[in-house]
Chain A
Amino acid sequence: MIFTIARKEFRSLLATPSTWLFLGALQFIFAWFFLARLDAFLQVQAQLAQLANAPGVTQAVAAPLFATIALIMMMLVPVFTMRLIAEERRNRTMTLLMTAPVSSTQIVLGKFTGLLLFLLLAIAGSVLMVLSLAAGTQLDKGLIFANALGLLLLAASYAALGLYISSLTVQPVVAAIGAMAALFGLWLVEISAADGNTAWRALAPTSHFQSFNSGLLNSGDLAFFLLFSIAFLLLAMRRIHNNRIYG
């Protein structure tokens, strides 16, 4: 049943022209950053070659590119999460799900999985772009894998937060702005926290992405993303259940 809802969500995303426009624009922006980084790398390559322990192309090009994508994700994910529940409410299609023999858990997990599949597609595009470097040089596959996994986890946590905010309102635009504000707020918490203040930094998903970005698989960060996603998914389920109670 989760899969049925996920499949429908995924297909209806691909059926809207704006999605393709977004994917295309996104790939264009990624490619732009990618080429800029690559160009910069080629210019300093000669000097780097003289250093003893010089950063490789993966570290110099791919890692900063993925860090940029992580920031763009902050604006991108809310655009897709806004429709998930708010639009169903506005179009009165939520009744179909509410009166069907499916639980709130299945509705939320189905929608979340469907969106995650789509975000996986967007992330895969950028990873493929980086992998194209393999034609000319040797790549640090571990670093790329860590980054891709980190991006996916980051996307999942953003999607969970966006899904929850979408379940709070009837207006998709309000859901989008709300999710964006929440994500920016978390990011600001991270960059404005004093260096030693780890408690505040620990709140922000972006700070947990940094270890993935430098190629580390830190179980603490992994746990953070999982807990963050699960917490907001549970809140969204709760919210949908409350819909039946409060109307």
Chain B
Amino acid sequence: MSAAPLTLCARNLSRRFGPREVVRNVSLELRRGEVLGLLGHNGAGKSTTLQLLTGALLPHAGQIEVCGFDLARQPKQAKACIGFLPETPPLYRDMCVDDYLEFAAKLHGVPRPQIAGALAETKRRCSLQDTGQKIIGTLSKGYRQRVGIAQALIHNPEVIILDEPTVGLDPSQIRDIRTLIRELGDAHSVILSTHLLGEVESICDRVEIMHHGRLIYSDSSAHMQQYGHQPGFVVTLLAPPALAELEAIPGVLKVEPISATHFRILHTAESNCGALLLERAAERGWQAQQLTPLQTKLEDVFMHITQNEAA
């Protein structure tokens, strides 16, 4: 993975709006074939960071390089390598889909003979085949979002930057878009910002968490799910014994009663005391019903990390 070439590299980006510093000293790296998820609360500075990376805003400090081109010094070459879907898709409501995508292609310097091919391919990818002649203003929100994504892909850019790409879509469309992003992630580099953690779980290779304009956590999304993980399970015993008896089982660290019949049991990582507990339950007639291992949800991890930072 680390052998893949760097496609986007940002160093020490800072951006103020008046006296308020919205982005503070952010550094990012992205390689080909990677999908990076930018996570954060509302107002954490995600959209501003993405606007900095695409050249819509200039940073007050810091440097951005896209495919080896400096965004400040060679903006044309650098921007030609980027496809960007902003928070609000930049759609001209009175144009039809084909005309709009053709305009986007020309604007991004797709050579004239290749436009028809790029148009057909992009429409296929975003399942827009039937909407070519429709006026954008008459499309539903989901379709508009897809046209917005199509606009970011039409010139086949190295780096694709999507700001909350699945907002306002129905569940099946969300699935389609996620499949598409995953597919794009194989040949290109993708950055997407989101506050949907499920999205990160299902499609991102790497996660950066943003909080108050700073990146506070960065790791692979699989690792993030392990963050702060405590092995344990929840067990239902219809005829529970005294707490002391449960705590006496070897390996158990802590027993918390959730209700009269539900217990959260935390154990050490090495021991598997679940089997032992079930054995004893059968012996002593505790009437064990259900045993569910504790799973750290990304949400908990996220809350944990951002709260740690706030503290």
Complex contact A97–B76 (CB within 8 A): no
CA distance A151 to B92 in the complex (A): 31
CA distance A239 to B56 in the complex (A): 14
Complex contact A98–B108 (CB within 8 A): no
- Flag the segment in B80-88, B201-209, B262-270, B284-292 that touches A: B80-88
Residue ID in chain B nearest A246 by CB atoms: B17
Could you tell me the distance in whole angstroms from the C-beta of A172 to the nearest C-beta in chain B?
14
Most chain A beta-carbon contacts within 10 A, residue among B57, B91, B151: B57
CA distance A8 to B90 in the complex (A): 15
A99 on interface, CB distance cutoff 8 Å: yes
Complex contact A92–B94 (CB within 8 A): no
B58 on interface, CB distance cutoff 8 Å: yes
CA distance A245 to B92 in the complex (A): 25
Complex contact A15–B94 (CB within 8 A): yes
Task: Collect the chain B residues with CB atoms within 8 Å of residue A8's CB.
Answer: 103
CA distance A98 to B91 in the complex (A): 14
Residue ID in chain B nearest A98 by CB atoms: B56
Chain B interface bracket (under 10, 10 to 19, 20 to 34, 35 or more): 20 to 34
Interface string of A1-26 (1 = CB under 8 A from B): 10011001001100110000000000
Task: Collect the chain A residues with CB atoms within 8 Å of residue B108's CB.
Answer: 100-101
A91 on interface, CB distance cutoff 8 Å: yes
Chain A residues 111-151 with CB under 8 Å of chain B are: none
CA distance A97 to B54 in the complex (A): 11
Chain B residues 39-76 with CB under 8 Å of chain A are: 51, 54-58, 75-76
A169 on interface, CB distance cutoff 8 Å: no
Residue ID in chain B nearest A110 by CB atoms: B107
Could you tell me the distance in whole angstroms from the C-beta of B225 to the nearest C-beta in chain A?
33
A95 on interface, CB distance cutoff 8 Å: yes
Could you tell me the distance in whole angstroms from the C-beta of B73 to the nearest C-beta in chain A?
13
Residue ID in chain B nearest A94 by CB atoms: B90
A residues engaging B (CB < 8 A)?
1, 4-5, 8, 11-12, 15-16, 91-103, 244-245, 247
